[in-house]
Amino acid sequence: MKKISFMDCSFRDGFQSCVGARVKTEDFLPALAAAKEAGIDNFEIGGGARFQSLYFYCQEDAFDMMDKCREVVGPDVNLQTLSRGANVVGLISQSTDMIELHAKLFKKHGVSTIRNFDALNDVRNLAVSGRAIAKYGCKHQVTVTMMSLPPGLNEAYAHTPQFYIDSLKKILDDGVPFDSVAFKDASGTATAQTVYETIKQARALLGNDVTIQFHTHDTAGSAVACNMAAIEAGANIIDLAMAPMSGGTCEADILVMWHRLRGTDFDMGIDPEKIIKAEKVFEDCMSKYFIPPESMEVSPKIIFSPMPGGALTANTQMMRDNNCLDKYDDAIAAMREVVAKGGFGTSVTPVSQFYFQQAFANAMQGPWKKITEGYGKMVLGYFGKTPAAPDPEIVKLASEQLGLEPTTEDVHAINDRNPKLGVAAMTKRLEEAGLPVTEENIFIVGTCDEKGLQFLLGNKPMGIRYKEADKPKKAAAKGGAYTATVDGKAIAVKVDASGDTYTATVNGKAYKVSVAEGTAVPVAAAVGGSAEHEIKTPLPGTVVKQVVSVGDTVAEGDVILIMEAMKMEQEIKADKAGVIASLPADAGAVLAADDVVATITVEGAVAAAPAAADAPAAAAAGGHEIKTPLPGTVVKVVASAGDTVAEGDVILVMEAMKMEQEIKADKAGTIASIDVEAGDVLAADDVVATME
C-alpha cells in the first residue's frame, strides 16, 4: 500500500476560489485548529490573492494572519504560500530587492514552503525568486504551470507533455535550487492523459527521491480523474480541500478523493470520521459568508475558455461589486480568442487576469478596441517569453496603444531600473505619507500600491460578502453623502452633523443648515446658469483615485479620476474644458456603465438667489460634468474645488476590477465641485466632479 500525501488548500485557494479570497482570520482559525486535530499537517494558508485581498477587502494585515496561523498549528506543521515568480504576491512584476524582501518576510512570519510559479513557464522568472526563497530559509517548490487549449486551435506544442517536460529541463539546466516540484493546473482543464504522461516523464527525469506534487481544480469536473492520473504516474502529493471550500471551482474534497482510492493500492492515511468533524467545524465557521452559486458548479465553458477557479469567483465577486455580473458570460466567451492570440500563456494569475481583463474590454467596448495594459505588455514581451508567438496584429495594436516596442529583455532588468519600483521608491512613498518605514510596510505598498498605502493610512474598506441576515449592522448616522434630484438633475450633497447643526456641501459649496419644526421658506427660482456637462463611465468598475477637486479648471482630455475594472486601471478624462462642478464618486465607489462621475460647468454657473437671509443658496445650475466611464470605487481624490486644471489633469483615481484608473479633466477650467470621496462606489456615467 503506497501512502499518498495531500495538502489542504482550504484556507488559501479554497477561500480564493469560493469567496474571492475575502474571509476574516478570526472566522477560520477554529477550522484550521480542527483540521490539525484531525491529523492534517500540510496547509496552504497564504500568498496568491490571499495577500492583497486582506488589505483590499478584509481590513486585515496579511502578515498578522500568517502569524496567527502559525500560532494555531504549532512549529512542526508545514504552512505553504503561493508566489507568482517575478510578481511574488503583487499584481505587477517587482524589482529584485522586493522579490528578496518577499522571501525574507514570509520566512519571518512563519511560512515553511513557498510554491513558486510563472504563468509563462519562463525559467528566468523563476530563477531570481527561487534563489531568494532558498536564501532566506523557506523550502522552494518550483512549479510548471499547465492547462488545456480549446479544440480547433492551430498550436501543436504549447501545453503538451513535451512542452511541460522541456520547461522542467530548463529549470534543471538553470540550476535554481528547489526542494520539490509541482505541476499546477489552476484552470482544471488539463486532460487526465496529459497529466499522466507529463508526470510519468517527470518522474523518470527526476528520479524517485524528488517529491512531485500535483494541483488541479474541479471547475471542469475532472479533478478526481486528474488526481488519480497523477498518483498512478508517480506523484507523491496532491492538493485537496475541505467542504464547504471544495469541489466546483475549488480542489477536490479530501473525503471524495479518499473514497476514490478505496480498494486501490493507494492510501491517504486519514481517519475519515475525524475529517467529517473538521469539515463540520469549517462549515459552521463559513455559515455567515455568501458563497456564490458559480463556485459550486461544474462549468463546461471552462474547457473552451480556461478560467482558473481561484480567479473565477474573484472576478464574479468583483463584478457583483461593480454591478456588471450580467457581462460575465460575454467576457468568458471572449476569452477563447484572447488566449489564442496572446501566445498561450497558462491561465493562472497574473496571465489569467490579463486574459479576463482583455476579454472583459472586448465584451464591453468592442473586440480589440482597447488593448489593456497587462495583456498588451504580455504580448510585447515585458513579462517574459510566451509559450508561442502572439498574433502579430495584436502585437502591433498593443505597441501603438501602449506606446511600447516589443522586447526580449529580462523583466528583472526592466523593473530594476524603473524608479517607481523597489525598496527605495516605496520608502519615499511611506515617508511622504508620514508612515512608519518598516520592511512590512515597504512590501505592502510595493505589492498593493495605492490601496496598500491607503490601508496603512487607516482607509480600510470592507468588501466581504456575507449572507444578508449576517451582514454587520451599521449604526445610524446623521451625516452622509447623498444625491438629490432637482428637476431631473442629480446634485451631489454631503452632510456633516454636529448636534442639531449640519454642514451641507452642495456641488462643492458648504452651507450651514439647522432644522426646526414648521414649514420651509420658499426659495426663489434660479436666476440663470450655464450648461453643465456630465462625465460618465464607459464601463463598470470601482473608483481608485480622484485626481481633481470641485472648483478645479480642467482642459479637454484632463484626467478626472482613475477607476479599476477587472483589475485594470482606466483614466476617466474630461471631454470638455470647464470647471469641475461636482465629483459624485469617491474612492472606493462602485460604478455601473454610464454612471456620472463628474459634472463640468462649461460657461460658468449662477447660483439661485436665496429667498431669505438665513436660507442657503441653491446649487449651481450649470457646469461641465466629469463622469466615470465604468463602475468602480474611488481610491483617491487628487483635485479640490477651486483648483484650476488643464485638459488631461488627473481629478481622482478609481478602481474597477482591481485596476486603478485615473479620471482626468477632458477640458481646461476650474473645479466647481468634487462630488465624490475616497470609498464611494460608482456606477458608469456617475458624475464625480463639475467644472466652471
Per residue in 505-525, pLDDT (tens digit) is 554 444 545 554 444 444 333
Same structural domain for residues 258 and 231? yes
Same structural domain for residues 495 and 546? no
- Please check whether residue 106 lies inside any domain of the structure: yes
- Is the per-residue pLDDT at 605 higher than 80? no
Last residue in a domain, options 296, 330, 354: 296
Residue 640 belongs to domain spanning: 532-609+616-691
What is the number of structural domains in the chain? 3
Helix (H) or strand (E) holding 63: helix 62-73
- Is the per-residue pLDDT at 24 higher than 60? yes
**pLDDT band at residue 313, thresholds of 50, 70 and 90?**
low
Residue 81 β-bridge partners: 46, 114
- Please check whether residue 321 lies inside any domain of the structure: no
Check residue 145 and give its pLDDT. 97
CATH number, domain of 574, equals: 2.40.50.100
Same structural domain for residues 250 and 185? yes
Which of the residue ranges 154-168, 247-261, 477-491 would you say has the lowest mean pLDDT? 477-491
Task: Identify the DSSP state of 241.
Answer: B
Check residue 589 and give its pLDDT. 78
- Please check whether residue 318 lies inside any domain of the structure: no
Same structural domain for residues 571 and 496? no
**pLDDT band at residue 49, thresholds of 50, 70 and 90?**
very high
Determine the average pLDDT of the residues in 201-228. 97
- Is the per-residue pLDDT at 193 higher than 50? yes
Same structural domain for residues 508 and 544? no
- Please check whether residue 524 lies inside any domain of the structure: no
CATH number, domain of 179, equals: 3.20.20.70
Same structural domain for residues 548 and 509? no
Which of the residue ranges 467-481, 556-570, 617-631 would you say has the lowest mean pLDDT? 467-481
- Please check whether residue 332 lies inside any domain of the structure: no
- pTM, rounded to two decimals: 0.74
E strand spans, 515-648: 532-536, 541-546, 553-554, 559-565, 568-573, 578-582, 590-591, 595-601, 623-627, 632-637, 644-645
- Is the per-residue pLDDT at 29 higher than 90? yes
**pLDDT band at residue 356, thresholds of 50, 70 and 90?**
confident
Same structural domain for residues 550 and 503? no
Residue 525's Cβ-count burial label (10 Å; 0-12, 13-18, 19+) is exposed
Calculate the alpha carbon distances from 75 to 36, 42, 152, 496 in Å.
12, 12, 50, 51
Same structural domain for residues 172 and 234? yes
- Please check whether residue 432 lies inside any domain of the structure: no
Residue 580 β-bridge partners: 624, 691
Check residue 532 and give its pLDDT. 83
pLDDT digits (tens, 9 = 90+) for 376-390: 999 999 999 999 999
- Is the per-residue pLDDT at 323 higher than 80? no
- Please check whether residue 391 lies inside any domain of the structure: no
Mean pLDDT (the chain, rounded): 86
Q: Residue length, the chain? A: 692
Same structural domain for residues 484 and 547? no
Calculate the alpha carbon distances from 63 to 68, 87, 298, 484, 681 in Å.
9, 18, 34, 43, 28
Last residue in a domain, options 251, 266, 296: 296
Contact 596, 638 (CB under 8 A): no
Last residue in a domain, options 296, 328, 350: 296
Collapse the DSSP code of 645 into the 3-class scheme (helix H, G, I; strand E, B; otherwise coil) and give the result.
strand
- Is the per-residue pLDDT at 301 higher than 50? yes
- Please check whether residue 431 lies inside any domain of the structure: no
Same structural domain for residues 490 and 629? no
Same structural domain for residues 227 and 260? yes
Same structural domain for residues 487 and 620? no
